[in-house]
Amino acid sequence: MIEKPQQSLGFFIFRQEQLFMEKKHLGFELSIFNSMDELSNTDALLLQEAEKARQNSYAPYSKFSVGAALLLESGKIIPGSNQENASFPAGLCAEGVAVFSAGANYPNEKIKAIAVTAASGSNNLTSPAAPCGICRQTIAEYEKKQGSPIQILMKGQTGPIYKCDSMADLLPLGFDGSFL
């Protein structure tokens, strides 16, 4: 409740006003797998390809290597790895490399899924590293463009594997072209 002062005959009288607001919980379902053996053959292959792509990472500054592999509707797998630059903001994330490569080379094919795996040169990642904000925005744009969700698989060096059904799960209240 908020009390608003009103002046009356030299005195302030406080009138109570009830403000109403609505609260909503935004959540999503996340599947957690303990090993690659629990995954479908397609998901396991996609994560293996992301791990291969991670080997091509160029991360001499951060020592944080990321690999991505995305699955197109045709079954083709597109790899991507992060590429750093001494001017840090000029680098590219693995997810962006893979998504933009698919967009440039296969513009009419839908992306069904993307797998992301990360490794740190300074410590063992025992939980998945989710895509950064820019990559979430990039993948969300492609979901909107193609009119269908893109599944996300995430894995660290060891530990569980996370899977969610859509980037919209990881980017609730996302910004898109409808706001422009």
**Lowest mean pLDDT across 12-16, 69-73, 81-85, 148-152:** 12-16
pLDDT interval class at 18 (50, 70, 90): low
Give pTM, 2 decimals.
0.85
Q: Which two tokens stand for residue 161?
A: 């594997």
- Is the pLDDT confidence value at 81 over 80? yes
- Is the pLDDT confidence value at 152 over 80? yes
SS3 assignment, position 42:
helix
Q: Which of 21, 22, 51 is nearest to 36 (CA)?
A: 51
Q: Does 3.40.50.300 match the CATH number of domain 27-179?
A: no
Positions annotated as catalytic residues are 95
Tell me what pLDDT residue 27 has. Answer: 86
Measured between alpha carbons, how far is residue 123 from residues 63, 92, 164 in Å? 10, 22, 25
The residues spanned by each domain of the chain are: 27-179
pLDDT in tens, 39-60: 999 999 999 999 999 999 999 9
pLDDT in tens, 105-127: 999 999 999 999 999 999 999 99
**Lowest mean pLDDT across 8-22, 79-93, 142-156:** 8-22
Calpha distance 139→145 (Å, rounded): 10
pLDDT interval class at 6 (50, 70, 90): low
